[in-house]
């Protein structure tokens, strides 16, 4: 299918010459009243403090469950990996755990 090239000026000219659709004066009022009658009250969101507490609670539950399953070995291992006094290993050497 061939592409049709239309410049911005041609589009602007077509939009200026096109007749505007007829709108009744009652249309905005009708739309407003329809939307107003369909509105229902909603429950407000909890405050920032409540949401922060809920997030922290869920985080602590999952962290506690993870620690209970895996133990604290991962924390000790990570801490020893970060210590600056540990000599660096060459890329081919194996680490002793």
pLDDT in tens, 2-36: 788 889 999 898 888 888 778 888 998 999 999 99
DSSP state of 86: S
HSE-CB of 17 using CA atoms within 13 angstroms = 6
pTM of the model: 0.40
DSSP state of 72: S
pLDDT in tens, 35-55: 999 999 999 999 999 999 999
pLDDT for position 20:
78
């Amino acid at each position: 299918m061939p592409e049709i090239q239309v410049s911005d000026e041609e589009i602007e000219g077509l939009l200026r010459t096109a007749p505007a659709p007829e709108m009744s004066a009652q249309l905005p009022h009708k739309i407003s009243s329809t939307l107003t009658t369909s509105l229902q009250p909603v429950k407000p969101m909890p405050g920032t403090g409540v949401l922060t507490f809920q997030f922290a609670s869920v985080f602590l539950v999952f962290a506690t469950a993870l620690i209970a399953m895996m133990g604290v070995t991962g924390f000790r291992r990570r801490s020893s990996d970060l210590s600056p006094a540990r000599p660096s290993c060459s890329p081919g050497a194996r680490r002793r755990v």
